Amino acid sequence: MEKFLEFRERYPLFRYNAYHIEETNNTITFRYDFEIVGLAQFHPTWTIDKQHVKYFDENDEIIQKLIFSIGMVELSSYWKITCSPAVEIHAGAIDDTQLAWWKKQYFLGLQEFFYTNHITVSIDDFMYIKALGSSFADTKGTRALSGCMIPIGGGKDSAVTTELCKQLDMKRCAYIINTRKATQDTVDIGGFDEKDVIKVKRTLDANMLECNKKGFLNGHTPFSALVAFSSSLFAYMNDLRYVVLSNEDSANESTVAGTQINHQYSKSFQFEQDFHEYEKAYIDSGVYYFSLLRGWSEFQIAEHFAKYPQYHEAFRSCNVGSKADIWCGSCPKCLFVYFILMPFLSDDELHSVFRKNLLEDQALIQTMEQLIGYQSEKPFECVGSRSEVNTAICMKIAALEKEGKALPLLLRRYQTLPQYESYRNQKNPYAHYFNQENLIPDIFLPLVKEG
């Protein structure tokens, strides 16, 4: 809190000055101009090859608004360096209702950042936003949209969505931000033609990384909000009707029990609804953004993923090992994925994925206690709900005991905790689970809903 107050006093003003569209023969780049007055300027970029673009008119109002909105999300990554109390928007014109919408998204999307930096603020006083920009172009394109775009992250969820969407007679494209081996492997295994893989490159400004080294504030920002606005833009530029996300019902659960602090806020249904309403009211591109897996839990997604062995060696969700394209085997994400797949894959199959038995790693006991809710705070990772982790563990214990096999270290520890007594005799709550609170279009519903 001390740093927060100090930096706000020293650097009271943050500006979103402009965005620029730069074209070459082969690429289109959006460059953003941010400034912490008195400290530094920042120029992050988004670049797409023209081979991945069917339509682009920089005077199209929809394109202008979506490019501007990507900047509004990017803003939070640079604002958080000093948390300047005043924010001026010079890059475009937005009204007071829109400013209130953005302020809400920043406040909820930065809850983890505030929590981990011991910052206490209210939605009223953490930021004061003023819009000073001019209006956008008033030329609005008319596009005939069809088909779908599937954002690919390289994990099990987008693989499941990819396979489900094969059942539809519909053009499918994949969308990747900053390609890595796991995302490329997923689209290859998923059968996408390379011409239907829309790849963009997002860069962070080096000045932000320098500020981090110098001890300025740092922490989590809502990345999935970038996916929302950018996927809508690139879907519109490729005449695609649907953006088909893979966010599940479990993303709605708070990371710190009893609070609104949620590492996955921008994957939550609340954000999805808010985005829908904002996009329709203020952009109206005709692109429909929704999560196909919103009715399911992570438990159900794992059950479906287990049916697609072609992905098992390729998928990756470990942030620690992402650059090396490995599962580190020591982080909360690795342990969660191990747990949630246990009821559906054999020990040998799990070992072929993770290259070790995570259940015998004593260093992961505390992580297990966080995942099951023995501790109030879950790890700040994209992990499932406490209930489904407990369900998966109890199913594994029951299976091992039925086979007369000894329990590994973590499962023996689990049996000493109150969660074991609470969940051991419960019926599987996810056998026919489907959350009706979703935005899934009728044409997609049969893919995920029984009957």
In the chain, what are the domain boundaries? 2-291, 317-423
**Res 435 pLDDT > 50:** yes
CA–CA separation, 109 vs 100, rounded Å? 14
* Main-chain dihedrals φ then ψ at residue 296, nearest 5 degrees: -105, 160
Number of C-beta neighbours around residue 100 at 10 A:
12
Residue 451 has pLDDT above 50, yes or no: no
**Distance in angstroms (rounded) separating the CA atoms of residues 369 and 377:** 9
Cβ within 8 Å of residue 411, ≥6 positions away: 359, 393, 396, 397, 400
Q: Are 288 and 147 in contact (CB under 8 A)?
A: no
How does 72-98 read in b/e, with b if 16+ C-beta sit within 10 Å?
bbbbbbbbbbbbbbebbbbbbebeeeb
Question: Which of 248-257, 279-288, 295-304, 356-365 comes out lowest in average pLDDT?
Answer: 248-257
pLDDT tens digits for range 180-189: 999 999 999 9
pLDDT for 328 equals 93
Residue 448: band (very low, low, confident or very high) from pLDDT cuts 50, 70, 90: very high
Query: Closest Cα to residue 145, out of 10, 214, 32, 55?
Result: 55
* Tokens standing for residue 406: 């000894």
Give the list of residues 6+ apart from residue 264 with CB closer than 8 angstroms, or none: 224, 247, 251, 255, 382
Q: pLDDT tens digit string along 345-390?
A: 999 999 999 999 999 999 999 999 999 999 889 989 989 999 999 9
Query: Which pLDDT belongs to residue 38?
Result: 95
Q: Rounded mean pLDDT of 138-158?
A: 89
CB 286 within 8 A of CB 68: no
Q: Express as a percent the part of the chain with pLDDT over 90.
A: 86
Rounded to an integer, the average pLDDT of 78-88 is 97
pLDDT in tens, 389-405: 999 999 999 999 999 99
Query: If you average pLDDT over residues 188-206, what whole number do you get?
Result: 96
Among the ranges given (15-24, 192-201, 219-228, 254-263), the one the predictor scored with the smallest mean pLDDT: 254-263
pLDDT at 298 over 50: yes
Q: Give the other-Cβ count within 10 Å of 126's Cβ.
A: 18
How much is the average pLDDT of 71-91?
Answer: 97
pLDDT of res. 374 = 92
Q: Report pLDDT for 134.
A: 85
Kindly report the pTM of this predicted structure. 0.94
Dihedral sign from CA coordinates of 31, 36, 37, 40: negative
For residue 169, pLDDT over 50 is answered with yes
What does the pLDDT look like over 89-140, one tens digit per residue? 999 999 999 999 999 999 999 999 999 999 999 999 999 999 998 888 777 7
- For residue 29, the cross-strand partners are 22, 47
